[in-house]
Amino acid sequence: MTTNDDLTTIEVDQYFPHPPAKLWRALTTPDLMAQWLMPNDFEPVVGHRFTFHGRPVVQTGFSGQIACQVLELTPPKRLRISWADADDPGSMPTEVAWTLQPEGQGTRLILEHSGFDPDDPTQQLVRRLMNGGWRSHVLRRLTDVLQPVVCVRTGI
């Protein structure tokens, strides 16, 4: 689990004891995607536009509807899509990329969510507060500390 100090990108990686082809199916089959992410009308075709239908999250101003487009599709290695709040067309779209790396008997999945606005006042505040590596260091440590604390707030 890594946290990038660059606040415009979130990076999360996880090892799964499953072959890349199986992971690829879970990442690109609409019914399976709905089980772990959100209901959607995804199609594995570059250029295809689709929507994720989630539940709104008031705290984060998330409308629940995400407008996406398939940007890159390289089975079973990499999937990249655009990701924008469908109810906020003025906001800059971000990008989500999944990279699959064979590792031992399984697969390491690296997720990068990039393109967050570095000029966003909230993020500027966070950057001011969390400079000098404090943020990533503490977040990593807190993740360990908070493992027992169950609090799922994404509501999706």
Partner 1 sequence: MPRRVKSGPLDEVFAALANPTRRDILDALLDGEHTAGELAGKFDMARPSVSEHLRALRETGLVEERAEGRHRFYRVTGEPMAELIDWLTPYERFWRDRMIALGGVLDRMDDDDDE
Chain residues that interact with partner 1, rule: CB under 8 A? 1, 3, 10, 12, 14, 16, 18-19, 21-23, 25-26, 32, 35-37, 57, 59-60, 62, 109, 111, 113, 125-126, 128-130, 132, 134-135, 137-139, 141-142, 145-146, 148-149, 151-154, 156
* 45/149 with CB nearer partner 1: 149
Shortest distance, position 27 Cβ to partner 1, whole Å = 8
Burial (0-12, 13-18, 19+ Cβ within 10 Å), 82? middle
CA 19 to chain centre: 21
* 71/85 with CB nearer partner 1: 85
Shortest distance, position 109 Cβ to partner 1, whole Å = 7
* 30/47 with CB nearer partner 1: 30
Residue type, 121: P
Long-range CB contact pairs, 126-129, < 8 A, 24+: 126/7, 127/7
* 47/60 with CB nearer partner 1: 60
Shortest distance, position 125 Cβ to partner 1, whole Å = 7
